[in-house]
Amino acid sequence: MPTVDERLRHVQLKVERAEQHIAALSLELDAFLQSGPYRVEATHDAKTRKLVYFVAAAEPVPDSVALIAGDAIQNLMSALDHLAYQIVCSDTRGKPPDLSGIYFPIADDAAKYEANKRTQLKGASQETFQRIDAVKPYRGGKDPLWALKRLNNIEKHRLLLAVGSRAAGLNLGQLMAPHIAGKMPPEAVAAFESMNIFLNPADKGFPLRPGFELYIGAVDEKPNPKQEFRFDVALSEPGIIEGPLLQILNGFTSVVSEVVTALTPCLR
């Protein structure tokens, strides 16, 4: 019989492969963001005379970003299925009753999980089910697992995940500095300009396109040539998950690693 380490080997290799994809993705994103893909300009609204900062140019996110993200997601989901397979093999002493029908059970809700878990883990012991029950692999339990499975299914049927650029904030200190100039000492104005606090916009303009308004100022306000804006590359699947792409993928990796650790005692 395989040892526990031998049973875990393929699971760990899948997680490690996902981490390699995420590392490659980080480099890809750095190269894209450092290429200066966004240009911001300022104008005054013809009717209201208010100052408007807007996106004048926004290069599309390279297709490779979404493809690499999809590879990472697929490897993480595969790691869980490998884990389920090894657990059933361990429980049945290498003789699972349905070799091709073993999947890690993740469901849309607790009721569907209960209804399907024994079919997807046919041959697993009661102790195994108790340990997996404690993980709560369903929406309303451990939501990131549910999101991971949904994204993996989407990626199988759609060439690219919904990946694109979005506004991520404007420098609050630089925004305030012109309004206090002449009212406070120069060193105070400089301190405001050097602040690294960014105001996170409610409307992030995903996917970012030229013409998107980033900030509307006061009537006849002069543009600040130092005004800094932030952008990031996000994953946006409404109803499933939305947020910075790398942050989401790293979160998935952490959750999968936690599940592997929690269920390792099922292996013998």
Q: What is the pTM of this model?
A: 0.91
Compute the distance between CA of residue 263 and CA of residue 135 in angstroms, rounded to an integer: 9
CA distances from 207 to 1, 35, 51, 234 (A): 52, 18, 23, 9
Per-residue pLDDT tens digits of the chain, which is 268 residues long: 788 898 999 999 999 999 999 999 999 999 999 999 999 999 999 999 999 999 999 999 999 999 999 999 999 999 999 999 999 999 998 887 777 789 999 999 999 999 999 999 999 999 999 999 999 999 999 999 999 999 999 887 776 678 999 999 999 888 887 877 777 887 877 777 787 889 999 999 999 999 999 999 999 999 999 899 999 999 999 999 999 999 999 999 999 999 999 999 999 8
Give residues with Cβ within 8 angstroms of 201, minimum separation 6.
Answer: 167, 168, 169, 170, 214, 215
Measured between alpha carbons, how far is 149 from 214 in angstroms, rounded to an integer? 34
State both tokens at 76: 């993480």
The secondary structure of residue 103, as a DSSP letter, is -
E strand or H helix at 218: strand 213-219
| Integer Cα distance of 148 and 18 in angstroms | 13
Rounded to a whole number of angstroms, the CA Rg of the chain reads 25
Instruction: Locate the domains of the chain by residue range.
Output: 4-266
